Amino acid sequence: MSENSTNGPGGLGIPSKSKIRIVVADDHPIFRDGLCRLLALEEDFEVVAQAQDGRQVLDVLQQHEPDILLLDLKMPGLDGLATLQRLQIAKNKTRVIVLTASDDKNEFVQAMKLGTSGIVLKQTATELLIKSIRKVHAGEIWLDSHTTAAVIRQFVANDEAQPSMHSSLPPAPPTRERERSPLSQREREIVALVAQGFKNKEMAEKMFISEQTVKNHLHNIFDKLGVSDRLELALYAIHNNLHTGR
């Protein structure tokens, strides 16, 4: 029996959960059609529409109100970033995953500022794209480690150049309970390094401690702040001015 249905009262096969409704927006028909065929293989996915440019995206979202939009940044007419701006103004509730071949970190930062919930490169393995859709649908942010570091570094660089930009950052991620106990000075140093994109090994070398000690500190920090991953921690640090270590 499919995980999407169960024998409810009277054995009617009532769905146990609805499918994730997806729109795919890309101006290359072969790529778009191939992706839709791959997504259709997942029992919990339903591709409800396709779009080849930003203006079609706006029409399709209004018509279908999907859960997830897979959005290419490089489209004719109204491109991906301009489309995101329109969706932000309209307060559209569809969660957006940017699916792009671009390696322009400035575009990634702009996309995050405009409310994107995930960024996936087109060369990413299919299983990771599928995982990203489920994670974003569940309310999480999806970035791979390389993109996370690049985006956070760019946020920090922009923040230092424009101290007033906090209003344009993505909202601080929701947490269970912020700072149930104060961070130690060492923990604050680690938070700052995470926000600057440093990896565990790099932090260990910089602070003259073991990598395991860094992991232990991170575990305690996650617990104190109620965050679940490094991106949430980095965004929290930037919003609360903890990213400079000062």
Q: What is the pTM of this model?
A: 0.66
- Residue 94: pLDDT band (50, 70, 90) is very high
Which pLDDT does position 231 carry in this prediction? Answer: 73
Per-residue H/E/C for the chain: CCCCEECCHHHCCEECCCCEEEEEECCCHHHHHHHHHHHHCCCCEEEEEEECCHHHHHHHHHHHCCCEEEECCCCCCCCHHHHHHHHHHCCCCCEEEEEECCCCHHHHHHHHHCCCCEEEECCCCHHHHHHHHHHHHCCCCECCHHHHHHHHHHHHHHHHHCHHHHHHCCCCCCCCCCCCCCCCHHHHHHHHHHHCCCCHHHHHHHHCCCHHHHHHHHHHHHHHHCCCCHHHHHHHHHHCCCCCCC
65-79, 132-146, 149-163, range with the lowest pLDDT? 149-163
> Where is pLDDT greater, at 70 or 153?
70
Comparing 162 with 16, the larger pLDDT belongs to: 162
Residue range 46-52: average pLDDT? Answer: 96
Mean pLDDT for the chain overall: 81
Domains of the chain from N-terminus onward = 16-142 (3.40.50.2300), 163-239 (1.10.10.10)
How does pLDDT run across 98-118, given as a tens digit for each residue? 998 887 878 887 888 888 889
